[in-house]
Amino acid sequence: MNGSLTFLSVAPEIALAAAVVLLLLVEVTFKPRAWAWAVVAGAGLAAGTALSAWQWVAHRGADTGTFWNGMIAVDGFAALAGLLVFPLAGLGLMSAWRLAASQGRRGAEFIALVLLAAAGAHLMAAAADFIMLFIGLEVFSLSLYVLAGFTRERVDADEASLKYFLLGAFASAVFLYGVALVFAATGSTTFYGDGGIADYLAGTVIFRPGVLLAGLALLLVGLAFKVSAAPFHVWAPDVYQGAPGGVTGFLAAAAKVAGFAALARVLTAVLGARADDWVPAVAVLAAASVVVGTLLAIVQDDVKRLLAYSSVAHAGFILTALVAGRGGVGDMWFYLATYAVQVLGAFTVAAAVSGDRAGRSPLAHWAGLGRRAPWLAAAMTLMLLAMAGIPLTAGFAGKVAVFRAAIDAGYLWLVIVAVLATVAGLFFYLRVIVAMYLASPEEGASLPASPAVGWGARFVLAVAAAATLVFGIAPWPLLEVLRDALPL
Amino acid sequence: MTVNQFLILGALLFSLGVYGVLVRRNAVAVLLSIELMLAAVNINLVAFGSLLGDTLHTGHIFALFVITVAAAEVGIGLAIVILIFRNRSSANVDELDLMKW
Amino acid sequence: MVELVLFIIFGLAALFGAVTTVWARNPVYSALGLMLTLFSVAVFYVSNGAQFVAAVQVIVYAGAVMTLFLFVIMLVGVDRAEDRRENLPVQRPLALGLLVLFGAGVLVAGRFAWVTGAEGGRGAEGTVEALGSELFRRWVLPFELTALLLIIAAAGTVALGLFRRGEAEGGDEGEAGEGEEAP
């Protein structure tokens, strides 16, 4: 373990932190134009992506390890999380660019917080110690709390921020209590290595596992809050609806990626020896999320709330992959990556239709969008069809992958529930599509000004559409590659 | 002197904190209840650390990190509370009924 | 024996403070109750050999953070006692039931050994030297990463709270904030 590699293990975070500090210093000193922000943020994210790509090439598969006394892991899992989260942050910034630029001098803080959230998300995926995981979680969550309330003049945005904050802090405390109990049961907070949790659990039979199981349950609850799995999803609809339109896409995509990365590593790699204990709990969470998310999405009249409940259902689909344990991690990544792009695209369209700052996006705003803005409507249709799981989209390939993983693990009942929910889900996705193409705007209804799409949002939509189609038509190469994205 | 008494105390404080989060309506009081939960976690960490006799001080260090993070969290939380108070002169969670809770 | 007496005294004080925190209608009493709990908990830290954590708890937590709380409570007003009527009538009994259930579970669990981890040597004393050398050796990466948290806390509070002069105000609802409060 040589010295330079030690620093390269946290190089993506260093690059992002340097970009953040530079951004904030340059901002207060020179008060540059907005394009300077874009240059600094783009350089930071590009460096982070490049370093993650290097980690992926050099340290996927065999040549993995932990650094900084077992604090951070360099493996395919962490590298892939970086390759996913940093470009997502870049796309999120492009989609939110008009919002950031309209915020005057506060725009620099906006961009800095997005970069910090991306760094926190990567830390959550790469953490090899519960203390690191906790700090990554807080870096990530605290940035998002502020971003959710960024259009502070609007009263439903500050409310969304407060709800997100209070429930998120509550979930963090529950998570911490779980960590404390796991620490009591295993005598360590470090995941790997001699005397680490994985090592201890693999080598020791615990006669009274009550404390360990209680800790595991609380850990699961805390992380389920973050990924908005039912019944811990209550924050999601309000936050998705109240947060500024430009932010919601990044918020929804990154929260899923970071939360599931942490969950997958903790469950499959660290607590892998206790899989018999947590797999049933994960299966129940998955079934509950799929059912609750689908049923509640059907009754929504606001497109953002609808997408929020659909994201609860998608959390359930992703959890379905995790019941297969380590074998399902690759499928989880495929679903997670494609869903993150879809949800970012969908909320980008929503921001264009209802406004960058606005929260609400009632179905009436979408009436007749197919005539007013055919390209936007087409992009939204593609994203919704992919989320619904129509063949030849990435959503279909992802669903097939996670269902196959669950069947291999012997959870046929869960797959049957999930398939039924998929069929029921078609209803509410099609409802939006019908509104866009068949309904005409009500007479005298006050529609927002005609949808304005910046170049950034156009680029995001193009990327999202391309990824959804390419990985929908030919998912095998990506699925094959993602088999290497396993935690240490 | 066993360690269980500290753990029971910690669990009682934690459950009182959870109760507070669930029933209080004032945002500041909810935040105070969350702090109570974190204090309970810290009791556990320190007591476990001392019982496990870990020479790495994992429990103590973890408690220090929890305190640090809680301070940052409180900073953000109170900023949000003040923002809400400015916008509508109230800090009661239940009065925020623009959206369904 | 002395330890047991101390535990009983400060344990009761901590519980009293916690009950005050969740029960008092006036947020000032809540904050003071939490302060009492934090002080009592600090005593337990000392009795578990965590002197430095106890000092940090008293200085940073009970001192600085709670003062911040009191500032905000005073700022947002204490004249109105909290309204106890519930929109959801089941919420309070449900929470109380949950509390009783959890307490019972804890009392049952308390009769067994909680700690099943590998025991090390004798518990090391948490003095400043001992903690400092571990913090800067083994735990140096998380220690450095808390810098990110502090940046977020600073940038976040500025973004939410500071209304700069000449900044574009007014959201979509036409409801402008009080833009003249820039310090």
pLDDT per residue as tens digits for the range C63-85? 889 999 999 888 887 655 555 55
A3 — pLDDT class (breaks 50, 70, 90): low
**Residue A70: per-residue pLDDT:** 87
- The minimal CB distance from A116 to the residues C113, C152, C164 is found for C152
Return the SS3 of B92.
strand
| Chain A from 352 to 381: CB within 8 A of any C CB | 355, 357-358
Report if residue A392 sits inside a domain.
yes
ipTM rounded to 2 decimals:
0.92
Dihedral pair phi/psi, residue A74, rounded to 5°: -115, 105
Q: A–B: how many Cβ contacts below 8 A?
A: 109
Instruction: Calculate mean pLDDT across residues A20-31.
Output: 90
**Residue C85: per-residue pLDDT:** 55
- The minimal CB distance from C120 to the residues B19, B52, B64 is found for B52
Tell me the per-residue pLDDT of A442-458, one tens digit each, with 9 for 90 and over.
665 566 666 678 888 99
Taking CB atoms and an 8 Å cutoff, what residues of chain A touch B36? none
Taking CB atoms and an 8 Å cutoff, what residues of chain A touch C115? 184-185, 187, 211
Q: Check CB contact of B43 with chain C, cutoff 8 Å.
A: yes
Residue B73 contacts by C-beta under 8 Å, 6 or more apart in sequence?
A138, A142, A169, A172
Instruction: Calculate mean pLDDT across residues A19-40.
Output: 89
Which residue matches tokens 């404080």?
B13
Q: Provide the number of structural domains found in chain A.
A: 1
Q: How far apart are CA A393 and CA A385, in angstroms?
A: 7
A483 — pLDDT class (breaks 50, 70, 90): confident
Taking CB atoms and an 8 Å cutoff, what residues of chain C touch A153? 169-171, 173, 175-177
Instruction: Calculate mean pLDDT across residues A307-316.
Output: 95
**Residue A364: per-residue pLDDT:** 84
**Residue A193: per-residue pLDDT:** 84
CB within 8 Å: C119 and A13: no
Q: Check CB contact of B56 with chain C, cutoff 8 Å.
A: yes
Long-range Cβ contact pairs of C70-76 (< 8 A, separation 24 or more): C70/C28, C70/C31, C72/B28, C72/B78, C72/B81, C72/B82, C73/B28, C73/C27, C73/C28, C73/C31, C74/C28, C75/B82, C75/B85, C76/B28, C76/B81, C76/B82, C76/B85, C76/B91
Helix (H) / strand (E) element for A471: namely: helix A455-473
Instruction: Calculate mean pLDDT across residues A290-313.
Output: 93
Reference A77, options A316, A339, A268; nearest CA is A268
The residue ranking higher by pLDDT, A363 or A81, is: A81
Question: How many Cα atoms occupy the beta-carbon half-sphere of B87 within 13 Å?
Answer: 29
Residue in A closest to C134 by C-alpha: A69
CB within 8 Å: C134 and B56: yes
Which residue matches tokens 């220690």?
C143
Taking CB atoms and an 8 Å cutoff, what residues of chain B touch A120? none
A199-208, A335-344, A347-356: lowest mean pLDDT where? A199-208
Residue in B closest to C42 by C-alpha: B43
pLDDT at A299 over 80: yes
DSSP string across C120-162: -SSPPP--HHHHHHHHHHTTHHHHHHHHHHHHHHHHHHHHHH-
A73-82, A89-98, A226-235, B85-94: lowest mean pLDDT where? B85-94
Tell me the per-residue pLDDT of B26-81, one tens digit each, with 9 for 90 and over.
888 889 999 999 999 999 999 888 877 777 788 899 999 999 999 999 999 999 88
CB within 8 Å: A153 and C141: no
Q: Which tokens sit at C161? A: 């709270």
Find the angle CA(C39)-CA(C42)-CA(C47) to the nearest 5 degrees: 140
**Residue C113: per-residue pLDDT:** 60
pLDDT at C151 over 60: yes
Parent domain of A431:
3-482
Mean per-residue pLDDT of chain A: 89
Q: Check CB contact of B98 with chain C, cutoff 8 Å.
A: no
**Are A318 and A335 a contacting pair, CB within 8 Å?**
yes
Q: Do the strands A72-74 and A65-67 form a parallel or antiparallel pair, or are they unpaired?
A: antiparallel
Kindly calculate the radius of gyration of chain B based on its CA atoms and give it in whole angstroms.
17
CA distance C11 to chain B (A): 7
CB within 8 Å: A208 and C169: no
- The minimal CB distance from B9 to the residues C11, C31, C150 is found for C11
Which residue matches tokens 């309070």?
C92
pLDDT at C174 over 60: no
Report if residue A487 sits inside a domain.
no
Tell me the per-residue pLDDT of C5-58, one tens digit each, with 9 for 90 and over.
999 999 999 999 999 999 888 889 999 999 999 999 999 999 888 889 999 999
Q: How far apart are CA A264 and CA A325, in angstroms?
A: 8
CB within 8 Å: A187 and C155: no
Taking CB atoms and an 8 Å cutoff, what residues of chain A touch C151? 17, 20-21, 24, 112, 116
CB within 8 Å: B48 and A184: yes
Taking CB atoms and an 8 Å cutoff, what residues of chain B touch A143? none
Interface test with chain B among A134, A135, A138, by most B beta carbons within 10 Å:
A138
pLDDT at C175 over 60: no
**Are A324 and A308 a contacting pair, CB within 8 Å?**
no
CB within 8 Å: B66 and A176: yes
pLDDT at C180 over 50: no
Neighbors of chain A by Cβ distance (3+ pairs < 8 Å) = B, C
Q: Which tokens sit at A298? A: 């059907």
CA distance A469 to chain B (A): 36
Report if residue A488 sits inside a domain.
no
**Residue C92: per-residue pLDDT:** 72
**Residue C183: per-residue pLDDT:** 32
Long-range Cβ contact pairs of C179-182 (< 8 A, separation 24 or more): none
CA distance C149 to chain B (A): 7
**Are A69 and B61 a contacting pair, CB within 8 Å?**
no
CB within 8 Å: B48 and A142: no
C149 — pLDDT class (breaks 50, 70, 90): very high
Nearest-10 Cα torsion for A354, A358, A362, A368: -10
A305 — pLDDT class (breaks 50, 70, 90): very high
Neighbors of chain B by Cβ distance (3+ pairs < 8 Å) = A, C
- The minimal CB distance from B80 to the residues A134, A149, A156 is found for A149
A123-132, A158-167, B82-91, C22-31: lowest mean pLDDT where? B82-91
Instruction: Calculate mean pLDDT across residues A53-75.
Output: 85
A205 — pLDDT class (breaks 50, 70, 90): confident
Residue B2 contacts by C-beta under 8 Å, 6 or more apart in sequence?
none
Residue in A closest to B38 by C-alpha: A173
Tell me the per-residue pLDDT of A208-267, one tens digit each, with 9 for 90 and over.
777 888 889 999 999 999 999 988 888 999 899 888 888 899 999 999 999 999 999 999
A224-228, A379-383, A466-470, C165-169: lowest mean pLDDT where? C165-169
- The minimal CB distance from B20 to the residues C3, C21, C110 is found for C21
Give the domain B4-95 fold: Helix Hairpins (1.10.287)
CA distance B99 to chain C (A): 14
